[in-house]
Structure 1
Amino acid sequence: MVWSATPEVHGGVLILALTGELDLAVVDELTGALEEAFERGTHGLVVDMIGVSFCDSSCLHALLRIARRTQAAERGFGLVAVSPAIVRPVTVLNLTQALPISASVNEAVAHVRRR
């Protein structure tokens, strides 16, 4: 399984760009990447999932945990996604408040900065 996580900081907001397929085989590595991103994003965290083709429930749960941790630290959190493979489970499970979805990185960063 090939996947990647590439961090980049924009004015204190860390953008973590994910690519590939996210499933149980990579959840521990994903969790580590999310934790590291949380530590580096002083104003908030945006997880860019435009390059993700699949995300199973274990990885969705990892995203939910880091979103809650980020929000508990009074920092903003957002997801960037347009693929039904990501948007549909978040919407169907009514997780859009905890995992707010934007269509672009700029939109997500603006959301995070408003928090």
Structure 2
Amino acid sequence: MVWSATPEVHRGVQILTLTGELDLAVVDELGRVLDEALARAGHGLVVDLIGVSFCDSSCLHALLRTARRAHSEGLGFGLVAVSPAIVRPVTVLNLTQALPISASINDAVARVRRG
């Protein structure tokens, strides 16, 4: 599996752009990358999943753990996604409150900054 993670900061919010396929083979490394991104989060963390073509339940759970940790630390958290591969499972599993989805980085950053 080929995947990548690219961190950057946008308006004081840590952005982590993920690409490729996210599955059980990469979940441990994904968890580490999410932890590092959250540790650098100023106002919060936005995970950009626009370039992700597949995300299995183990990686969805890693995102959920990170969202819960962000919330417990008083930080905002959000996802950027438009693909049914991401949007459908989050919606079907009724996780939209814990994993709020925006269609653009600007929208997600604005949501995270609002708290």
Structure 1 length-normalised TM: 0.99
CA–CA separation in structure 1 for the residues paired with 2:6 and 2:33 = 9
Secondary structure of 2:96's match? coil
Secondary structure of 2:46's match? strand
How far the C-alpha of 1:10 sits from its partner, in A, is: 1.8
What code does the residue aligned with 2:49 have? M
Give yes or no for the alignment of 1:72 onto 2:44. Answer: no
Structure 2 length-normalised TM: 0.99
Corresponding residue of 2:53: 53
CA–CA separation in structure 1 for the residues paired with 2:10 and 2:106 = 10
1:1-115 maps to which residues of 2 (within 5 A)? 1-115=1-115
Question: Can you list the C-alpha shifts for 1:64-114, whole angstroms capped at 9, x where unaligned?
Answer: 000000011111100000000000000000000000000000000000000
TM superposition outliers: structure 1 runs of 4+ over 6 Å: none
Question: Can you list the C-alpha shifts for 1:15-61, whole angstroms capped at 9, x where unaligned?
Answer: 00000000000000100000000000121000000000000000000
CA–CA separation in structure 1 for the residues paired with 2:19 and 2:42 = 23
How far the C-alpha of 1:12 sits from its partner, in A, is: 2.4
| % identical aligned pairs | 80
Query: Alignment length, in residue pairs?
Result: 115
Secondary structure of 1:110's match? helix
Asked whether the equivalents of residues 46 and 78 of structure 2 are also in contact (C-alpha less than 8 Å), the reply is yes
CA–CA separation in structure 2 for the residues paired with 1:42 and 1:114 = 13
CA–CA separation in structure 1 for the residues paired with 2:36 and 2:11 = 17
- Provide structure 1 residue ranges, at least 5 long, that are not aligned to the other structure: none
